[in-house]
Amino acid sequence: MRSDQEKEYTAYVSGRLHHLHRTAYLLCGDTHRADDIVQATLTALYVQWKRVTAADNVDGYVHKILIRRYLDERRLRWARVRLGETPAHVASVEAAERGIVERDELITALRALPKGQRAVVVLRYFGDLSVEATAEALKCSVGNVKSQCARGLATLRATLQPEGQLSTGPGMRDRS
């Protein structure tokens, strides 16, 4: 890569790293695994940089790679152990800890979704991707995105109480 192209790449990564890490974290619920996913994504991006920047949508390409990395369990088999160790949080906490608890509630609720539904919800509602862009990133049909999204939201609504309380039904297990 030419040095000027590498500067472009560095500028892009500097500006997007935090957002991509958050996206990966919402998908997998584990910060170390999120780092793995983002690292693999951005390393692949470096190799393809010249070609990708000639396209219309760098972010779209990056989301595609990131989703593929997330869905590829074989590369990250160890992470299942980590997810299983996530502690359950109780509702009564100090106000200062409320943000962390709500974060964990949301992550736990997301984990209750099948991976496809989880990816659709995160890309649509955190990544602000259109239905079409989400379908392209996931390599599925628009109709499939809509139905996965509807089912995912229905499960989230059932899981997340309006005041942020976490329900504790049998559905709260990691199905990833």
Partner 1 sequence: MTSDNDVRERLSAVEAPPTALRVETLVAQGRRRALRRRAVQAGCGVALAAGLLIGAPTLLPRAEGPALDQAGAAPGSSAEAGPREPVADPRLPTLRCAATRLPVPAGMTSVQPAGVDPSGRYVLGNDTKMSAASTPAGKVSGVGDANPILWTDGVPQALPKLGDWVSADAVNADGVVVALSGRKDKWSDSVLRYIDGVPTKLRPTAGKWTFRSVDINARGDIIVNAIQQGDTDERVDAVMLWPAGSATATKLPLPTHAEVQDITDTGRLVGIKTTGQGVEGLSSYSWDQQGKGKKLAEPSGEHGAVSVARGDWATGNLWPSGAVARWNLTTGGVTELPVDAPANGINAKGSIASSGTVLRDDANVELGLADGVKGEPLHIADNGLVVGSPFDGSSGVITWRCDG
CA distance 162 to 151: 18
Which amino acid makes up residue 46? Y
171: which 2 tokens?
């559905």
Torsion of CA 174, 37, 35, 17, to 10 degrees: -120
Backbone angles phi, psi at 30, to 5 degrees: -140, 120
Among 114, 126, 146, 151, contact with partner 1 (rule: CB under 8 A): 126
Under rule CB under 8 A, residue 114 binds partner 1: no
Region from 37-45, 66-74, 86-94, 137-145 binding partner 1, contact rule CB under 8 A: 37-45
Determine the 3-state secondary structure of 166 from DSSP. strand
Total number of residues binding partner 1 (CB under 8 A)?
56
Under rule CB under 8 A, residue 175 binds partner 1: no
Task: Confirm if 45 and 66 have CB atoms less than 8 A apart.
Answer: no
Region from 11-19, 81-89, 135-143, 167-175 binding partner 1, contact rule CB under 8 A: 11-19
Name the minimum Å distance from CB 116 to partner 1.
17
For residue 169, what is the enclosing H or E element? none
Site for partner 1 in 47-106 (CB under 8 A): 47, 49, 53, 55-60, 62, 99, 102-103, 106
Region from 36-44, 64-72, 81-89, 111-119 binding partner 1, contact rule CB under 8 A: 36-44
